[in-house]
Amino acid sequence: SIMAQHIKARYGDKPIYAVVVLPFEHEEETEVRTIYNTATCLKSVYSAADAVFLVDNQRYIRKDFSLRNNLAKINALIVEPFYDLLCAGEEKKAKHIGARVLDAGDILQTLSGWTVIGYGKSSLPMIRFPLERMRNFRKKSTETHKGIQAMDEAISELSLRCDPADSGRALYLLSAPARDMNMDLVKDLGDYLKELAPEAVIRTGDYPRERSALDITVVLSQLSDVEKVREYYNKSASFIQEIKRN
């Protein structure tokens, strides 16, 4: 929170975006002041930053990994969704520039207040046979299915559990080989996200990449209600009252 305040003071004419990583469940249960400190941090960062990405450590835990491997894996999973989002608007190679580029302007217009990010993917066949190219209708249906599947994963793997319907702004970025992207797919994905976030202004972009997967990055911002944050504030208030009584 101190860093966010100092950066805001130094670069007051620039938007400030912060990432707040919330504590593990065992930290909340065993360390009395953890919830109070977290609530204080959230309030402070929210007042200084234009948008705050919320990341729940607990959502990334894999029970079959050691603590050391868990922490390394968690850090990798936290940053992974940002890669395509930050690269798409800066791409220089023509073959990797989409029909609808999602650039810094779109990100600026989307990010506001409490924010979450998610990432999902569907595998694609690496080799295409000539006969497959003739089955346009079936091919489009398969692409749409894989796109919806990837978006479902992105929503289920959001950095913090929330209700997409509470978002006022959203964006999604589709990344896949150019041959696997078409206007119908983009429209279907947009319609699907609109069903999940009916009140949100949605921005979209495509990012052609030569991969054997269809990737979707989803950002939900301007969240009007975040249950986890509300819980921190309520428990923090109770903690303060208890301290005063003692």
Q: How far is CA 56 from the centre of its chain?
A: 12
Beta bridge partners of 170: 202, 220
Residue for token pair 């924010």: 115
pLDDT at 95: 84
CATH code given to domain 2-242: 3.40.50.1440
Spans of all domains in the chain = 2-242
pLDDT of residue 145: 86
**Regions of the chain where pLDDT drops below 50:** 134, 137-138
Q: What is the pLDDT of residue 223?
A: 98
Give how far Cα 141 sits from Cα of 73, 108, 128, 129, 181, Å.
Answer: 34, 33, 16, 17, 12
What pLDDT score was predicted for residue 228?
A: 94
Q: How confident is the model at residue 77, as a pLDDT?
A: 86
pTM: 0.88
Q: What is the pLDDT at residue 140? A: 57
Tokens of 146: 């894989």
**CA gyration radius, the chain:** 20
The pLDDT of residue 62: 65
* Cβ-proximal residues to 124 (8 Å cutoff; 6+ apart), any chain: 146, 176, 177, 180, 211, 212, 213, 214
State the DSSP string of the chain.
-HHHHHHHHHTTTS--EEEEEEPPHHHHHH-TTHHHHHHHHHHHHHHH-SEEEEEEGGGG--TTS-HHHHHHHHHHHHHTTHHHHHHHTT--SGGG--SS---HHHHHHH--EEEEEEEEEEE--S---GGGGG-HHHHHHHHHHHHHHHHHHHHHT-SS---GGG-SEEEEEEEE-GGG--HHHHHHHHHHHHHHSTTSEEEEEEEE---SEEEEEEEEES-S--HHHHHHHHHHHHHHHHHHH-
Measuring CA to CA, which residue among 51, 44, 17 is closest to residue 169?
51
Cβ pair 223, 125 in contact under 8 A: no
Q: pLDDT value at position 67?
A: 58
Question: With 0-12 CB in 10 A as exposed, 13-18 as middle and 19+ as buried, what is 91?
Answer: middle
Rounded to whole angstroms, how far apart are CA atoms 66 and 48? Answer: 36
